[in-house]
Every structure is written in structure tokens, then in C-alpha cells.
Amino acid sequence: KHEGRNTYRLFRTEMNQRDHQQLALETALRNTVESGEGLEVHYQPLVDRDSGEVQGAEALLRWHHPEFGQVSPGTFIPLAERSGLILPLGEWVMQRVAAQLMAWRQAGLSPPRVAVNLSARQFWQRGLVERVAELFEAYQLPPGQIGFELTESVLLDHQQEAVELLHGLRELGCRIAIDDFGTGYSSLSYLQDLPLTTLKIDRRFIQRLTGEESQRRGSAAIVAAVTGLAQELGLRVVAEGVETEAQLAALSRYPVTLIQGYLTGRPVDAETFAGRYLQAGEK
């Protein structure tokens, strides 16, 4: 016992401030995941560029802790991934989204498809497809009401297995988007081999379209190439992180299907989302 305390003290002094903060956050997150308290799903609209209609939404997790306040997903998602907490956390998100969609439908609203982000560990978790099928069943959701967003690196590690998993999800009607497209691997051949539906162009390219002169041409070339490729492959293109009219205008010459960004709508809580975007009886 005595020695244990000494070891602990030594450990403590060697740990820097940052490690402490991380450990405290991890403990807090663990407790939060158990109780579900302080977690909330926000929804950001995906707007059809031509019609202006809301064609979908992305589910984005929010965490408010009594001591740490609002913790950004950019902080707690990587922490959850490292600690394994992403599995119960991801399960909580899927269930929450499914329950919300059922509630909206029962209230006579017609919610659009909602895309849920999947981390590598969630995607590769045994029984994912069965779990999704179960959720659709339990919450009486039509096929494809929930879809998924994955990054390239998740899919390319074990591409053959990924193809099988994705086919399983596609059979449930789920849309599959490649998130942050253009920031990961440089190989494009996988676009032909994986059963995808959507490419999401990372917001850094969108932002550079109207950024410094020196960056504009390069990002315009990338956006032109990516949207052209997607069109040829029959994939929908989402432009992420559109914040200004100038960015929207700069995108006008490219075959972009959907706009997602602060310009067309920030992520908001479920109630606000329904009030703004869901009308009774409308499809």
C-alpha cells in the first residue's frame, strides 16, 4: 500500500499538465457514457444546391460536462477512440438518432435521412450490420433512414472486408459517404471498388476556393477534378463547410449536389431542427 502510494506520487510528478487533463477528461467521459447525461445529438442540414430543399442531416455529438463545460468533439472523439469509449458512445448516438427519427415520424413529420459518423473501431466492431438492422426494426424506420460517414483510412486498411460490410449496409438501404474527401489517401481506385453513394469534399478545399490568390487555383483544380470524377462514377457530392455566399458562388460551376455549412444551417438541437426544417405532411 505504502509503496503503491509512492509509485503513484512518482507517476504523478512525471505526468505533465496535459496528461492530467486528458485523464480527468477520460474519467469524466467514462461516467458520462454510463449515465448518458450531458450528451446530446445535434443535426446539421444538407441542402440541395439547386432546389434549396433539405435532403439530409448529419448527426453531430455534443458533450456538456458540469465542470469542463462544453467539450468540443475535436477533443473528446479522439479521446474516445483511444480509450475504446467510442464503442458505447457510438452505440448511444445511433440509438438516440433512431429514437429521434421514430419520434418525428410518429409526430407526423417526414425527417430526411440522417448520416451518423462512424469511427474505425465502430465500423470494424463485430455485428455492426446486424445491429443497424435491429435498430431499423426496433424503431420502425424505413430502409436507409440512417446512413453513415466514414473516412478513407477506415475503408482502405482492409478493403476486401470493407466491401462486404458496406454491401451489408447498402442492403439495408443505407447511404455511405466518404468524409473529408481529399485529405487522406491519394489512391482513387478504391472509389470504383467500394459500394459508396456520396463524396464529402473537405472544407479546407472549399475555404481555399475564396482564400489567398496562391491557393485558389490549386483548390479550384481539386474541386473540379473531384466533382467531375464523382459525377462520372454516379456519386453525390457534398461540399462541406460552406460559410459564405462567395464560397457558394465559387462552387456554382462544379457539379455539386448538396451544400453543408454555416451558410445553409449550423448544427442545432433536435427541437430547433424540427422547428426549422420539418413540416407536417411534407416530404
**What binding mask, one character per residue, do residues 93-132 give for ligand C2E by CB under 6 A, x or -?**
x-----------------------xxx-------------
- Amino acid identity of residue 182, one-letter, is G
Of 119 and 227, nearer to ligand C2E (C-beta) is 119
62: which residues sit within 8 A by CB, 6+ positions away? 39, 40, 41, 42, 70, 73
- Please, are residues 142 and 170 in contact by the beta-carbon 8 Å criterion? no
Of 53 and 243, nearer to ligand C2E (C-beta) is 243
Three-state SS string over the chain comes to CHHHHHHHHHHHHHCCHHHHHHHHHHHHHHHHHHHCCCEEEEEEEEEECCCCCEEEEEEEEEEEECCCEEECHHHHHHHHHHHCCHHHHHHHHHHHHHHHHHHHHHCCECCCEEEEECCHHHHCCCCHHHHHHHHHHHCCCCCCCEEEEEEHHHHHCCHHHHHHHHHHHHHCCCCEEEEEECCCCCCCCHHHHCCCCEEEECHHHHHHHCCCHHHHHHHHHHHHHHHHHHHHHCCEEEEECCCCHHHHHHHCCCCCCEEECCCCCCCEEHHHHHHHHCCECCC
Does 61 contact ligand C2E by CB under 6 A?
Answer: yes
Residue 144's binding partner out of ligand C2E, Ca ion, none, with CB under 5 to 8 Å set by partner kind: none
Q: Which stretch binds ligand C2E (CB under 6 A): 158-166, 215-223, 257-265, 272-280?
A: 257-265
Does 267 contact ligand C2E by CB under 6 A?
Answer: yes
Of 152 and 179, nearer to Ca ion (C-beta) is 179
Of 134 and 269, nearer to Ca ion (C-beta) is 269
The minimum distance between CB 65 and ligand C2E, in angstroms, equals 16
**Residues numbered 15-44 forming contacts with ligand C2E, rule: CB under 6 A:** 44
Of 71 and 274, nearer to ligand C2E (C-beta) is 71
Q: Which residues bind Ca ion (CB under 5 A)?
A: 117, 149, 179-180, 240
The C-alpha R_g of the chain, in whole angstroms, comes to 21
Does 48 contact ligand C2E by CB under 6 A?
Answer: no
Does 180 contact ligand C2E by CB under 6 A?
Answer: yes
Does 251 contact ligand C2E by CB under 6 A?
Answer: no
Residue 74's binding partner out of Ca ion, ligand C2E, none, with CB under 5 to 8 Å set by partner kind: ligand C2E
The minimum distance between CB 71 and ligand C2E, in angstroms, equals 10
CA distance 62 to 212: 33
Of 149 and 152, nearer to Ca ion (C-beta) is 149
Does 72 contact ligand C2E by CB under 6 A?
Answer: yes
The minimum distance between CB 200 and Ca ion, in angstroms, equals 5
Which residues sit at the interface with ligand C2E, rule CB under 6 A?
44, 60-61, 72-74, 77, 90, 93, 117-119, 149, 179-180, 203, 241-243, 260-262, 267
